[in-house]
Amino acid sequence: MNRLKSLFVPRRPVVAALALMAVALAAGSAQAAENGKFRVGIVTFLSGAAAGPFGVPSAHAAETVIDALNKGLLPAPYNTKGINGLEIEAVIIDENGGATKQVEEFRNLVERQKVDAVIGYISSGDCLAVSPVAEELKIPTVFYDCGTSRLFEENKAPKYSFRTGLDAVVDNVGAVRYLADTRPKMASIAGIQQNYAWGQDSWTDFVETTKKLRPEVKVVGEQFPKIFQGQYGAEISALSVAKPDVIHSSFWGGDMEALVLQGNARGLFDGRTLLLTCGESAMEHYKDQAPNGMVIGGRGPFGAFAPKNALSEWLRAAYSAKWNEQPVYPSFKIVQAILGLKAAVEKAAAAPGKQPDADKITAAFTSLTFESPSGTVKMARSTGHQAMQGIAYGEYYFEGGKATLKNVRSYKDTCVTPPEGVNGQDWIKSGMPGAKCD
Amino acid sequence: MMRVDRTEAWLLGAGLALALGALVLPSWLTFLLTIAFAKGLVVQGVVIQMRAGLVSFGQGLYYCIGGYTVGVGGQMVGVHDAFALLLLSMAAAAAVAMVLGLLLTRYREIFFAMLTLAFSMILYGILSKSQSLGSTDGFNVRAVTALGWAPGAGGKMFVYVLTCGCAAVAAVLLHRLSKSSVGHVCEAIRENEVRVEYLGVSPRWMLYATYVLAAATSALGGGLIGMATGHVDPEMAYWTTSGEFIFIALLGGISHVAAPFLAATLFSTVRTYAIQFVPHSWQMILGFVLLGIIIFLPKGLWSLFRRTKAEARA
Amino acid sequence: MTTFIAILVDGSIYASWLFLVSAGLTVIYGVMRILNMAHGSFYAIGAYAGASLVGWWFSGAGGNPYVSYLLLLGAALVAGLVVGFFIEFSLLRRMYGRDEILMVIVTYALLLILEDAIKLVWGVDPYFAYQPYGLLGRVSFSGLTFANYDLGLIGVSLVVGFGLWLILNRTHKGKLLRAVIHDREVAVAMGVNVKAMFAVTFAVGTTLGALAGALTAPAISVSPGIGVEVIVLAFAVVVVGGMGSIGGAAAGAVLVGLTRAAAVHLAPELELFVIYGVMSLVLSVRPQGLFGQTLVRKI
Amino acid sequence: MTATPILEARNLYRSFGAVTAAKDINIRIQSGEVVGVIGSNGAGKTTFINMVTGFLPPTAGEILFNGRSILGQAPRKITRMGMARSFQVAQLFPELTVLDNMLVALSIAESGYPSFLRPLRNAARIERAETALAEFGVAAFRDHPVTSVPQGTRKLVDIAMALIGNPSMLLLDEPTSGVAVEEKFPLMDSVMQVVRRHGVTVLFVEHDMEIVSRYVSRILAFYAGEVIADGPPAQVLDDPKVQELVVGHGGHGRTRRAS
C-alpha cells in the first residue's frame, strides 16, 4: 500500500486537471458583447414549481417582446428597433437552485457572458442576494417580480438595482381596501399561507391593514401549511370550523390551484369570499372549479387587470398568437421591465446605435417615467429605483365557458404605496398616513 | 512529525499559486473558484464520514450553520473579523454536532443517512419560521474585515484568497488525518466495526469525533460561501443541497484529499455550462454524469489519474 | 367535538394518502434493499399520466364521466409498469449486490433524470383532472363537509394494503417473496429466481407510486416538482414504520397522518415540524422503526 | 486449585426467545492452561465466547476475569483488561493490506485514543507489525489487501491481531474452520507455538477432536448449552455421553482419513 500510494503522488494530475479546467473555462467564456448587440441576461424559473405559473409565462413574454423589438414591431413609443437600434440578444438562465447559485450565475452572466444588463428574479431571496452583487459589479439590474419590502431597505442607496414590479405591501393594502369597499358586512377573516417569507409577510400586512381600516373585524384562524404541500384536507376543515367571512390567501401556482379545487369541492367557499392576491396568474385554469365571486388580484395593473392601451392590446395579440393563451401578470411584468430598460437606455444614449455605459443607463433609469402595457410607470420610490403604480382587484366569474372579471376596482398608486422613505409595515401600523385614494 | 511530505507541499503550493492567481484570473473565475473550493470544504466533511462508512444526507445542516453564523455574527452581533467569524462558525457547528452526534452515532447506513436528512430539514423548518432571520428569503451578509483591515472594494478578492488559504490548510490537515491512526481506524470501522471494538477502541467514539470534525469542516465551507455570495438562506439546509454535496463527493472519490476540490470545481463548471446551454434540462445532465461515474468510475474521478499513472508505469 | 371529528377524518384521509405514497417505497426496500429516491418521480409520472388521460377524456373524447376512474387506474398501471420494468431492466439490473447506500445515490441520479424527463414530456404548464374529484359529490356531518372522493381514498388504501398483505401471506409467490425478504442467500439456495422476483417487485413498487400519483391528480394541480415534495414524506413514513414492512408503513402513515391533522387544528405553528419530530422521536426510541426488525450480526 | 482463576463463569444462562443457548455454565480456567471446547453446531460454544467477551449479555450469571466481575463491560474494555479473541470467520479489514490491518490493531493496542494527526505508519510500529506477521509466517503477504490472501492466512492474521495487544488470555473461535484440511495442523502448530511463547492462557473452540486432543490439556464438552463433561482429553473423549452427543454428531471422520 505504501509503495502503491507513492506511485500516485498527485503531481501531474493536479496540474493537468487544473490546466484542463482553465482551458475549458476560458474557451467557453464568451467574447465581450462588443458585437454590436445589446446583451441582456434574463433570469426566471424554468424548472421547479414556480416555472409553470410565473417563470415560463415570463420567459415566453420576454421572447415575444424581444423578438418583436428587434423587428421593430411594437407600437409607439417603442417602435424603434432593438434597444437604441442595437439588436437585443437575450441569455436566458434558470432561476431554480437557490440564492447561492443565483449569485454565482449572476456573476457569470456579467463577467463571462458580458451582458449589458440583467432582468429577472421572482424569488425574494434571490433579489436580496443579487442586489448587492449588482451594485458591486456595477451592472444595471431590473428586478421584475419579487415583492419583498426588504429589497431597498437592505440596499439603502441603490444605484444599479431597479424594481419595475411593486412591493408586496401594495397587494395587501389594495386587497383590504377592496374588501372594505365591496364587503361592508365582513366581520371575520382567516388566512391560509404558504409557510415561508412571502406567505408570512403577506398575512402580516393583510391583518395589520385590516386592523386599521376595519378594526371591528376579527381574525378567526390562520393556517401555514408547508409550501408545495398540495393537499389541504386538514387546513380546509380547520378553516371551515373557524367560519370566517373572508379567507385570504397569498398562495400561488399549483398550491393555489389545489386549494381552490379542494376547497370548492368541499364547500369551503359557500357563502364566503376567497381572496387570492396572486389569483390572476391562474385565471385560465380555474374553469368552473372556482367559486364565482372569488376576489383575485394580479399584483398590480397587470394581466387581466391591465388597462386597454395600444401596448397591452399588442401584447395580448402577439402573445396569444405565439403561445395560444392569454398573457398573465408575470408576462406583463417582465415586458414592463424590458420596456423600462429600453426607455432608459434610449434616454441615456447620445446617438442611435451607440451604447451608453452602465452609469449613464442607471442615471437615466432613475426616476424615469415610461409607458408600459400596464399604463404609465413612474420610478418614484426608493429615490427613483422603485416603480410606483396602482393596483386592481376584481371578482372571478365563470360564465358561458369563459372566465371573466367583474366589479373590478382600481386603487391609484398614492392610495396603496407608502411615502418615500417610509417602511411599508411601519406605514400600515401608523394607519397609512398620507394615502390619497380619490 | 511536522515534516511536510510531498503531497502536503503540493497542496500548499497549489493553494499559494491559486491565491496568487487572483492577480491574473478574471474575476468571474476567481468567484467560481471561491465557491468551488468552499463547497469542496463542505464536501470534505462528507468525505471524512464516507471514509468511516457513513453517508450523510444532511451535511447541508452544517453548511447552513456555518453560513448563518457568519451572517448573524456580522449583521446582529457585530463581529466583522473574517477569522473570528469562521472560528465561530466552526465552533457553532461543532457544538451542534456534539449534541446530535450522541444520537446519530447509534445509527449506520441508510438510517444514519435519513436521520441526518431529518435534522437538516428541521433546521430548514426553524429558519423558514424565523422572521427575524428573513425566513425563507434569508438575509445579506455584511462585508468582512481581516484583523482590523477592511478590504473594501477588494472584498471578494480577499474572500477568494482567504478561501484558498483555508482550503490549503484544511487539505493538509485532512491529508494528515487520512494518514493518521484515526484515519485508518475510521477506514477499519467502515470495513468491520465489530473487529475495531474487539481491538479495544470504541467505534462509536471514533465516529462521534469524525462526525464533529466533519461538521466543523463543512461549517468552515459554509461560512466562506456566506462571505463570498453575501447572502444566506434556509435553502442551504434543504436536503437537495446535501444531495449536491454527495454528488460532488462521489465525483471526486474518497481516495485523495484534493479530489473534493477538483470535483467541486468541475461540478460548478459543468453546471454553469449546462445551465447556459440547456437551461431546461441541466438536472438531467447532472443525473447522467452521476450515473456514469457510479458505473464507470466507482472510485470517483481521481481513479482516472491513478489508472493512467499505473498504466504508464506498467 | 367537531375539532376531534375533524382531526380523525382529516387524519385518516391524509394517512391513507401517505400509505398509498409510501407502500411502493417500502415494498421495494423490503425486497430489494433499495431506498428509492426516485419514488417521488414515479408518483409524478402517475399523476401526469392520469391527468393527461382524464383531461383527454373530458375534452370531448369521452362519454361516461365515471370511466375516468378506470382511466386513472389504467394510467397508473401502464405508466408504472412500463417505466418500472424499463428502469429495472436498463439500469438497476446491473447494480444488484452493490452497497445499499450507493443504491440510494443511484436512485438520486435517477430522480434528477426523471424530473427533467417529465418536464420534457409534459412541459411545465399544470395539468388538471379535477372532474373525478367533484363527481362523487360531498357529504356533511357535524358541521364539516368532506369530498366523497377523499373518503373513497381511505377505501382504496385499505384495499391496497389488504391486497398486499394477501399476496404476501396467502399466495405461493408471496411466500417466496417473504423468503427473499427474510434471507436472500437461503432463498437463492432454495432455487427462488431472485432476478425475476426483483424485476416484478420493482415494477409493482413503481406502479404503487404511480397509482398514488394518479389518484391524487384530481385533487391537485399537476405541475413540476410535485414528486420531490412527496419523497421526503414517504421516507419519513417508511422510516417511522420500519423500513420494508407493509404493516409498518400503515402504522407510520396513521401516526404521521393523525399527528399532523392534530397539529393543523390545535397548533398550526407546529405543523412544519410534525413529520420530522415524529420521525426523530420514534427513531430515538426504536432505531429500527415501529415494525422494523433489528439485524443481529453474526460473528 | 486455590489460586484465583484467570476466567471464571458462574451459573451462566442465555436464551434467544425459546432457545436456550447457555444453561447453568460453570467454568474455572487457571492461568497458563490450554483448554479446548468441543460441541456440535449450536451447542453454545460461540455463545459462550460472545458472553465472556462482552458481545452478548448473559440472561443470568456472573463472569469473573482475574477475580473481577466483567459483566456488562463492552468488548473493548474486556480486550483492554487482557482478554483477546479470534473469530470463526476471520474478522479483518478486507480492503486494507495485511500490514495495515496489523498497524491499525497495533495503534489501538498502544492507545485507546489514537492520534488524529500522527501518521499510522512509523518505523517502530511497522517493525513490530512485521515481527508479529513473521512469527506466524505470513510476512510475505504484508502488502496484499486482505481480500486477496488465502483463507488460512486470514485466520492467522486474525489471531495475530488478537495477540498484538499482549493479552493474558486468548479465546480462539474455531481457528481451523474454513481452512483446507491439509493446512489445519500446520496452522495450529504455528498458532500454538506463538501462544506458548507468549505464555498466554488459551481457550479454543474446535470441532475437530483430533486437533483438540493434540494441543490441549483439558477439554470442555458442550451440548445444548450445557457443559456435559470437563477434564483431560482422554477422559472426556471416552465419556459415553460425549461419545454419543458430541463425537457422534460431529462427523469428523474426514479429518481422520485425511491425516
Which segments within A2-115 are labelled E, that is strand? 37-44, 87-94
Structural domain contains residue A16: no
Neighbour count for residue A215 (Cβ, 10 Å): 7
Structural domain that includes position A414: 169-304+390-429
* C212 Cβ neighbours under 8 A, 6+ residues apart: C17, C20, C21, C23, C24, C43, C46, C230
Q: Say how many CB pairs under 8 Å bridge C and D.
A: 7
Which residue(s) pair with C141 in the sheet? C144
List all residues of chain D from 73 to 112 with a beta carbon under 8 Å from chain B.
74-76, 79-80, 84-85, 87, 91-96, 100-101, 103-105, 107-109, 112
* C113 Cβ neighbours under 8 A, 6+ residues apart: B283, B284, B287, B288, B291
Structural domain contains residue A21: no
Evaluated on CA atoms C111, C112, C114, C118, the torsion sign reads positive
Residue A18 clears pLDDT 70, i.e. is over it: no
Residues in chain A with CB shorter than 8 Å from the CB of D99 are 1-2
Amino acid identity for residue A157 in this structure:
A
Q: Answer whether C2 touches A (CB < 8 Å).
A: yes
Q: Under an 8 A CB cutoff, do B195 and D116 touch?
A: no
What is the arrangement of strands in the sheet containing A161-163, beginning at the earlier edge strand? Answer: A87-94, A37-44, A117-120, A141-143, A161-163, A386-388, A375-381, A369-372
Closest C-alpha among A239, A243, A236, A249 to residue A294 = A249
Q: Which of A14, A92, A136 comes nearest B279 by C-beta?
A: A92
Q: Under an 8 A CB cutoff, do D105 and B199 touch?
A: yes
Structural domain contains residue B82: yes
Residue D152 clears pLDDT 90, i.e. is over it: no
Write the DSSP symbol of residue A417.
S
Interatomic CA distance for residues A294 and B120, integer angstroms: 39
Q: Give SS3 for D62.
A: strand
Say yes or no: A273 and A406 in one domain.
yes
Structural domain contains residue B312: no
Interatomic CA distance for residues B127 and A225, integer angstroms: 15
Say yes or no: A268 and A371 in one domain.
no
What are the cell numbers at A376? 404609465
Structural domain contains residue B287: no
For chain A, how many structural domains are there in total? 2
Residue A30 clears pLDDT 50, i.e. is over it: no
Structural domain that includes position D30: 1-72+171-177+201-259
Q: Which of B176, B188, B213 comes nearest D104 by C-beta?
A: B188
For chain D, how many structural domains are there in total? 1
Q: Answer whether B181 touches D (CB < 8 Å).
A: yes
* pLDDT computed for residue D248 by the predictor: 63
Q: Which of C11, C221, C264 comes nearest A238 by C-beta?
A: C264
Whether ipTM > 0.90 holds is no
Structural domain contains residue B260: no
Residues in chain C with CB shorter than 8 Å from the CB of D50 are 299
Tracing cell 469428523 back to the chain, one arrives at D252
Domain ranges within chain C, ordered by starting residue: 2-285
What are the cell numbers at B132? 427575524
Q: Which CATH number is correct for C2-285, 1.20.120, 1.10.10, 2.40.50, 1.10.3470?
A: 1.10.3470
CATH, residue A406: 3.40.50.2300
For chain B, how many structural domains are there in total? 1
> Ramachandran region of residue A186, left (φ > 0), alpha (ψ -120 to 50) or beta?
beta
Say yes or no: A205 and A280 in one domain.
yes
pLDDT, chain C, mean: 86
What are the cell numbers at A310? 395600444
Measure A10 CA to nearest chain D CA, in Å: 19
Q: Answer whether D232 touches B (CB < 8 Å).
A: no
Structural domain contains residue D157: no
Q: Under an 8 A CB cutoff, do D100 and A1 touch?
A: yes
Q: Answer whether B194 touches C (CB < 8 Å).
A: yes
Burial of C38 (0-12, 13-18, 19+ CB in 10 A): buried
Q: Answer whether C267 touches B (CB < 8 Å).
A: no
Q: Answer whether C125 touches B (CB < 8 Å).
A: no
Write the DSSP symbol of residue B135.
G
Query: A1: nearest CA in chain B?
Result: B179
314 residues of chain B, pLDDT tens digit each: 456 788 888 888 888 888 888 888 888 888 889 999 999 999 999 999 999 989 898 999 999 999 999 999 888 888 888 899 999 999 999 999 999 999 888 888 778 888 898 889 889 888 888 878 878 888 888 888 888 787 777 778 889 999 999 999 999 999 999 888 899 999 899 888 889 989 988 899 999 999 999 999 999 999 999 999 888 988 899 888 898 898 899 888 888 888 899 999 988 888 888 777 777 777 888 888 888 888 887 776 666 665 554 444 44
Burial state string for C123-144 with b = 16 or more CB within 10 A and e = fewer than 16: bbbbbbbbbbbbbbeeeeeeeb
Cα first-last separation, chain A: 85
Is the backbone peptide bond immediately before A77 cis, with ω within 30 degrees of 0?
A: yes
Query: A5: nearest CA in chain D?
Result: D143
Which segments within A234-331 are labelled E, that is strand? 246-249, 273-276, 294-297
Q: Under an 8 A CB cutoff, do B287 and C112 touch?
A: yes
> Ramachandran region of residue C8, left (φ > 0), alpha (ψ -120 to 50) or beta?
alpha
Q: Answer whether D123 touches B (CB < 8 Å).
A: no
Q: Which of B180, B197, B213 comes nearest D119 by C-beta?
A: B180
Structural domain contains residue A17: no
* pLDDT computed for residue C299 by the predictor: 56
CA dihedral A61→A66→A68→A73, nearest 10 degrees, is 110
* A90 Cβ neighbours under 8 A, 6+ residues apart: A39, A40, A41, A42, A62, A63, A66
Query: B256: nearest CA in chain A?
Result: A10
Q: Under an 8 A CB cutoff, do C112 and B113 touch?
A: no
Write the DSSP symbol of residue D247.
I
Neighbour count for residue C12 (Cβ, 10 Å): 21
For the whole model, what pTM was predicted?
Answer: 0.85
CATH, residue D245: 3.40.50.300
CB distance B180 to D115 below 8 Å: yes
pLDDT digits (tens, 9 = 90+) for C34-62: 888 899 999 999 999 999 999 888 887 66
Structural domain contains residue D46: yes
Burial state string for B265-290 with b = 16 or more CB within 10 A and e = fewer than 16: bbbbbbbbbbbbeebbbbbbbbbebb
Structural domain contains residue D81: no
Chains that touch C (3 or more CB pairs under 8 A): A, B, D
Residues in chain C with CB shorter than 8 Å from the CB of B119 are 276, 280
Residue A6 clears pLDDT 80, i.e. is over it: no
CB distance D206 to D27 below 8 Å: no
